[in-house]
């Protein structure tokens, strides 16, 4: 099973991603965050296979988080 973390500040967009991804039986959303700081902590805790990151986060650039 593929484990995904989503880092997205917009609530409706986050809900849309989670709903779409949950349709696949082979993919699990292991967590979500609305800021870079929370996303970084979540990534360290869950060690996902994939992280879906918005580039325009409220506290840092999505590129910074990706590094």
Q: What is the pLDDT of residue 29?
A: 96
Handedness of CA 34, 39, 41, 47 (dihedral sign): positive
Q: What is the pLDDT of residue 67?
A: 86
pTM of the model as a whole: 0.93
pLDDT per 10-residue tile (average), the chain, 67 residues: 97 96 95 96 97 95 92
Asked if 51 and 5 touch (Cβ cutoff 8 Å), the reply is: yes
Q: What is the pLDDT of residue 47?
A: 97
Asked if 23 and 49 touch (Cβ cutoff 8 Å), the reply is: no
Q: What is the pLDDT of residue 8?
A: 97
Q: What is the pLDDT of residue 46?
A: 97
2: number of Cβ within 10 Å: 12
């Amino acid at each position: 099973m593929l484990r995904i973390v989503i880092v997205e500040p917009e609530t409706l967009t986050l809900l849309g991603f989670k709903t779409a991804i949950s349709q696949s039986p082979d993919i699990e959303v292991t967590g979500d965050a609305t800021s870079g700081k929370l996303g970084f902590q979540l990534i360290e805790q869950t060690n996902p296979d994939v992280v879906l990151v918005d580039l325009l986060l409220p506290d840092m650039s999505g590129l910074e988080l990706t590094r």
